[in-house]
A and B are shown apart, each in its own frame.
Chain A
Amino acid sequence: DQQVKQNSPSLSVQEGRISILNCDYTNSMFDYFLWYKKYPAEGPTFLISISSIKDKNEDGRFTVFLNKSAKHLSLHIVPSQPGDSAVYFCAAREIGGSEKLVFGKGMKLTVNP
């Protein structure tokens, strides 16, 4: 029973264009969402987060959008750069529960020069 779903395993975009990574969740008790980026042989690194009381959070080239009614969030990267090529994980935390994160399976982004 996957509570956080990243339905597309991979995405390929051209340098300079927008990358849109999608994530769906099923647990309405999630109150905080995060995106992590992972390079091979390294641990995931935190990218950006959003609280459930907001619908958008922006940090430089990265913007996360949250649609609570649809239980959907997305990460926009614009403009995409070759160094953005990595696996991106969507994660969520439950209200009042342990601080553990529930992760999606990840999506491999390839940005072509």
Chain B
Amino acid sequence: GAGVSQSPSNKVTEKGKDVELRCDPISGHTALYWYRQRLGQGLEFLIYFQGNSAPDKSGLPSDRFSAERTGESVSTLTIQRTQQEDSAVYLCASSPGTAGEQYFGPGTRLTVT
């Protein structure tokens, strides 16, 4: 019954490698968001999917970051050629539509060594 789930919960990778982070939103939620939280900072918006509309990618920090969503379900955030500054907790959230509060997953803690 679940809430938003994310995998893996922790990921350690070497600089330069690619990583994929997965998010399973709450069933029936049409909107899905990715945020990241670097140490000591607030949550930083990355990308937003709403139904079949074009995603809002305005928060992606570089072209090394991309995300996909399959219909109204699973989303994958991919970071290519990871850098140490990519180390953060990556949080996924979903909501039932516009004007709804967002429900967050537990996050994936990414450490780039």
What CA separation (Å) do A104 and B44 show in the bound complex? 9
Using a CB-CB cutoff of 8 Å, which residues 42-70 of chain A contact chain B? 42-46, 49
- Whether the pair B43, A89 counts as a contact (CB closer than 8 A) is yes
Which range contains the number of B residues in contact with the other chain? 20 to 34
Chain B residues with Cβ below 8 Å from A98 are: 48, 56, 58
Which range contains the number of A residues in contact with the other chain? 20 to 34
Q: Is B25 an interface residue (CB 8 A)?
A: no
Please report the number of residue pairs spanning A and B whose Cβ atoms sit closer than 8 angstroms: 56
- Whether the pair A41, B106 counts as a contact (CB closer than 8 A) is yes
Q: How distant is A22 from chain B, measured CB to nearest CB, in Å?
A: 15
- Whether the pair B43, A100 counts as a contact (CB closer than 8 A) is no
Given A43-B4, A46-B102, A49-B101, residue A103 in contact with residue B43 (CB < 8 A):
yes
Chain A residues with Cβ below 8 Å from B1 are: none
Chain A residues with Cβ below 8 Å from B45 are: 100-102
Using a CB-CB cutoff of 8 Å, which residues 67-113 of chain A contact chain B? 89, 91, 98-106
What CA separation (Å) do A49 and B100 show in the bound complex? 10
Using a CB-CB cutoff of 8 Å, which residues 74-113 of chain B contact chain A? 91, 93, 95, 98-99, 101-107
- Whether the pair B31, A46 counts as a contact (CB closer than 8 A) is no
- Whether the pair A99, B43 counts as a contact (CB closer than 8 A) is no
Chain A residues with Cβ below 8 Å from B95 are: 99
- Whether the pair A103, B42 counts as a contact (CB closer than 8 A) is yes
Q: Is B41 an interface residue (CB 8 A)?
A: yes
Chain A residues with Cβ below 8 Å from B42 are: 4, 6, 89, 103-106
| New contact pairs (4) apart from A99-B33, A103-B44, A105-B41, CB-CB < 8 Å | A43-B105, A49-B101, A99-B48, A103-B35
